[in-house]
Structure 1
Amino acid sequence: MEFTGFPVAALDFYDDLEVDNTKSFWEAHKAVYADQVRAPMVALTDALAQEFGEAKVFRPYRDVRFAKDKTPYKTHQGAFVGAAPSTGWYVEVSAAGVRIGGGTYHAAGPELAAIREGIADDRTGKLLERILRDLERGGFDIAGDQLKTSPRGYAKDHPRIALLRHKSLLGMRSYGFEPYVHTAELLDRVRQDWRRLRPLVNWLAERIEG
């Protein structure tokens, strides 16, 4: 299947799902999900696979076993291409439109320690600062969960203490409802932005994988 954009019906589907997140709604509209949401996402990630790798297109069902929110379905469709554990490129469609990103969405234990060592090192830490500065200048938002205090073993006055507080680190961009999200042009936009995110993804992957 050739990628031609996400239909308006894909965004409308999630608008309606946010109002009626029930099995009865899903059963009545699962063909819309399959044809207007999942199929275009598969086509988009297939078109990017040769350059970035095979994507995991996430299942629509929420894991509610330990969640207070028991609504059964995710209100977005995401796909992820991994470059290292919890690290790679992301694309998502929802009622809010389309957004993309790249980086590490979760790090703990040895992986987080390795990232922090890379941030603390003058050479690799300054390189990361340049990468993030370039992304911000290019219109990306730098995001990620952060500690409220300094991580153990690092001084509060470290020149990169704000980065050292990160437990995840991502460059994100929202396309929202721009007309091109409904056309084949979106493929080129995602490809270009994933290329711009490659230095961040590579920096993180090199730390994590040693």
Structure 2
Amino acid sequence: YRSRHSFADRLYNPRSGMGIFYRWKPRNPRRLSAEKGIPVPAVHVSVLERILQAPEGYAPGNLPPDCAFVTTEADPMLDVITLAGAVANAHGGRTALSLAEKQGQWVKVGFAAYLTFIAGTAGALLAAIAGNLWNTTSAGDAVRAALPLVQMFPINLVTAVLGDPIASSLLVAGLGFGYVLSSVSDRHTKEVYSAFWHEHRPAMRDAIRRTPADAPDGTKQC
């Protein structure tokens, strides 16, 4: 990373595809740092470079106002203290809330979307399994009825869900309603975060401007 990092690298979405079932919990750098006994969160300067260039609309909401910027370059030619001050001023001071903290209600909507995804999927699976076991009268019958569901997993289980009206309804409702909640939450927070960084981008550019060190004879380097 020291030699090959780039703010223009591709941005991967960890929640794409099946990632929607991964635990939804936006990171809070300030809280995580405090839990580890770190007084000031350290952020690599490439984060702000990515914000300024905005590849793929990059506009994070959890950058803490009281962060300290670090660099892995031997001669970064920038003042990280000035840079940290510019970020703090943009938020309204070092003790101000981050954008994500200010949008707490919409973050909760995103979490509700995640719970809806999980509830709909889990309910569908349980309904499909219960449908297979409904007419069994003994433990042996239950095992024989459930065995096809685990054979050729997950194809048979998915087939059972889609073939059961109740299970398929729960699945469609959970995924559909969760998608709506997730889309509304994402759209609102992205608009707020993008507008914030767009407003403060000129000040950030001034703060991050790289200035070569003076030559040994005191002359300015170009």
Q: TM-score, normalised by structure 2?
A: 0.28
Q: TM-score, normalised by structure 1?
A: 0.30
Larger radius of gyration: 2
Which is richer in helix? 2
